[in-house]
Structure 1
Amino acid sequence: MIIAITALKGGVGKTTTAIHLAAYLQQKAPTLLIDADRNRSALIWSREEKLPFYVASQAGATSLIRKYPHIIIDTRARPEAEEFRDLADGSDLLIVPTTPNHLDLDATFKAVEQLSSLKVNYKILLTKVDARTKGGQQARQLLEAENLPLFKTEIPLLVAFERASHKGVIIRDYSDPRSALAWGRYKAVGQEILP
């Protein structure tokens, strides 16, 4: 299975989603994460060599692709229309993460406009949802009102995700009281894709 994580805006949890879905899929079969982002965030996250899957640059992944049943692609933020077409053609699923922030939602609607014309299998993932506010609920209602494909699971806003990246581990392996909750959410997203 090839899954691309893409968004028209940075800061929406694209790399965090790529890392954690790769960790989930690795439990099913060998998984390769291709870091196609200019910031190389997934490669930086993997520097400590503590991740349970292999991370390669886009250029370095060519010879590896055939060896992995599951491939996650962490795309660059703000891909051009042509890149969207390439991702649509080469992926089984595109995941579009978005926060409940109105600017991020606006960028998500713009991405959906491009994806809809490509007849691609895509799904929106609400990320960085603050349980103390109604933003996540309002964002979900807005997306559902447009009949957009949306994951049932939401990813909470937790500083532990950032701290886990500094340690070079997935959230499941980071010592924090909320780590089990956070990993459980990404595990649930993974189960929505591949039970």
Structure 2
Amino acid sequence: MKIFSVANMKGGVGKTTTAVQLAQGLGKKGKTLLLDADQELQCAVAWRTSEDPSWTFDVARYGEDAPRRMKGYDYVVIDSKGNEQGHDLVSLARASHLLIVPTRPEGVSATGLANTLSPLVEAGVKNFKVLVVVNEGGRGEELREHLAENKIPAFVSMVRKSTAVGDAAEQHIPLEASSNRYAKTVALEYQSVLREALAYGG
């Protein structure tokens, strides 16, 4: 079983969208469970509430019974609670094959990213990668170059900004099932992210 965790200390950075789309892609490769650790909002659970036949994965709330729930699955995606402390992130990374840290390429989110990465770097954690989401203009490329200069691992793939993501969540369907061509484009970009995540050999 491979565990992919999605986390960032800051909210509003595409964490749940990333978790849902990764789980959707992994569900085509093996039995997949998405665990939603956000006890208050439960956004991933809410998105996946429909019985649309295009869904490929199971979803459950993260709790003390998580180890039992995970049994029998090939892949598990954990959508973190979103306001973790540094030690939470380190523990999450150490329990995962790969910790994915989504971020928006803008000022406030960039500051939040620095706060998120600091405890991981200080603890010597290596199995994490930053994912640039909600990209527009050349900001994503600039951030990715900045990360590379500072030897911070990042995905080559990036995900563009699109209101179609919110529309798909409201309709309780995966992006690929939307009739909106922009939603399908974002879904393809997440497929590229997934290929990189699966190729990670840390």
Band the TM-score falls in, shorter-chain normalisation: over 0.9
| Cα deviation 1:65-99 (Å, max 9, x = unaligned) | 11111000000112012312320221111000000
Structure-2 residue corresponding to 1:88 = 93
Select which of 39, 42, 51 maps to 1:40. 42
2:68 aligns to what SS in structure 1?
A: coil
> Which secondary structure state, in structure 2, belongs to the residue aligned with residue 152 of structure 1?
coil
Map 1:1-195 → 2, pairs under 5 A: 1-38=2-39, 39-50=41-52, 51-59=55-63, 61-120=66-125, 121-130=127-136, 133-194=137-198
**Pairwise CA RMSD:** 1.3
**Post-superposition offset of 1:46:** 1.1
* Count of residue pairs brought into register by the alignment: 193
- TM-score of the superposition, structure 2-length normalised? 0.91
Contact 2:86 2:116 in 1 (8 A): no
- Give how far 1:18 is off: 0.1
Per-residue deviation, residues 120-175 of structure 1 (Å, max 9, x unmatched): 30000000001xx2222222222222111000000000001110001111110011
**C-alpha displacement at 1:108, in angstroms?**
0.8
Q: Please identify, of 8-17 and 59-68, the stretch whose mean Cα deviation from structure 2 is larger.
A: 59-68
Distance (whole Å) between structure 2 residues aligned to residue 179 and residue 63 of structure 1: 34
How many Å apart are 1:62 and its aligned residue?
Answer: 4.0
Rounded Cα–Cα distance in structure 1 between residues aligned with 2:78 and 2:123: 19
Q: Structure 1 stretches of 5 or more lacking a match?
A: none
Q: TM-score, normalised by structure 1?
A: 0.94
For residues 182 and 80 of structure 1, the distance between their equivalents in structure 2, rounded to whole angstroms, comes to 30
Structure 2 distance, partners of 1:189, 1:85, is 22
Instruction: Indicate the SS of the match to 1:154.
Output: coil
Superposed CA offset, 1:41-68 (max 9, x none): 0011111133321000012644321111
Instruction: Name the CA distance, whole Å, in 2 between partners of 1:137 and 1:24.
Output: 25
Any unmatched runs of 5+ in structure 2?
Answer: none
| CA distance in structure 1 between the partners assigned to 2:76 and 2:111 by the alignment | 28
Q: Is the 8 A contact 2:90 2:123 kept in 1?
A: yes
